[in-house]
Amino acid sequence: QKEVEQNSGPLSVPEGAIASLNCTYSDRGSQSFFWYRQYSGKSPELIMFIYSNGDKEDGRFTAQLNKASQYVSLLIRDSQPSDSATYLCAVNKSGGSYIPTFGRGTSLIVHP
Amino acid sequence: NAGVTQTPKFQVLKTGQSMTLQCAQDMNHNSMYWYRQDPGMGLRLIYYSASEGTTDKGEVPNGYNVSRLNKREFSLRLESAAPSQTSVYFCASSERQGVYGYTFGSGTRLTVV
């Protein structure tokens, strides 16, 4: 089992819809969870981080964490074509260095 | 506020040549990292420096060396480049390891022929 798994996509949604991106992880002791956005040919950019079970909202973005089920999600409301990018999930390892492990990313396409 | 600055942006090397990728951050971050990103492989950690004066191996350290020159600068050296090191390299920094997310540099696209 990969440490951090994401569906590679592409996930295609119409403009204005809710995009739902999912990530599962294997380390039960993980405490910190991050979502990054990466446009083609650019570097990753931090969108959100979440530490506690439940939802965390920032503008059109909502991160959802369920530690019991070991998944973290990112919802993008009112999706725009400018949201088209690859979204990377990162999960900190428990114990030791706490270096995050990155998933391979989900490609999102928002079509007009 | 420049954030994380990487140089060069592009480089072509011949097999066996050496080079150093430079990275500097102006955010007073303690931790710095070098990643490589390959199609289908995601981001893989090469080396990291939790704080000034320390460096540690990541997932794929073979063929690379690093130097944390001071709190701002963290360089990555390829001593004898191989075609397998063709990749996009990202430097990143964080205020404190394990707690906050990363700020990434713009990347170096390296081709080894």
For residues A55 and A52, what is the distance between their CA atoms, to the nearest angstrom?
8
Looking at residue A98, its pLDDT comes to 78
| Tens digits of residue pLDDT in B81-100 | 999 999 999 999 998 876 78
Per the model's pLDDT, the better-predicted residue between A3 and A73 turns out to be A73
Residues from chain A contacting residue B97 (CB–CB below 8 Å): 97-99
The dihedral over CA atoms of A19, A99, B9, B68, expressed in degrees to the nearest 10, equals: 160
As a whole number, mean pLDDT of residues A33-38 equals 97
Angle, alpha carbons A32-A17-A35 (nearest 5°):
15
B39 touches chain A (CB under 8 A): no
**B interface mutation test: which of A43, A86, A88 has the most B CBs within 10 A?**
A43
Question: Which A residues 81-100 touch B at CB under 8 Å?
Answer: 88, 90, 92, 97-100
Residue B1 in this model has a pLDDT that exceeds 70: no
As a whole number, mean pLDDT of residues A34-56 equals 95
A52 touches chain B (CB under 8 A): no
| Tens digits of residue pLDDT in A60-98 | 999 999 999 999 999 999 999 999 999 999 999 877 677
Residue B18 in this model has a pLDDT that exceeds 80: yes
Residues from chain A contacting residue B39 (CB–CB below 8 Å): none
For residues A17 and A112, what is the distance between their CA atoms, to the nearest angstrom?
10
Looking at residue A45, its pLDDT comes to 97
Q: How high does pLDDT run on average in chain A?
A: 94
User: Taking a C-beta distance cutoff of 8 angstroms, is the pair B75, B24 a contact?
Assistant: no
pLDDT-derived band of residue A99, with 50, 70 and 90 as boundaries?
A: confident
Looking at residue A1, its pLDDT comes to 60
Determine whether the interchain pair B43/A49 forms a contact, defined as Cβ–Cβ distance below 8 Å: no
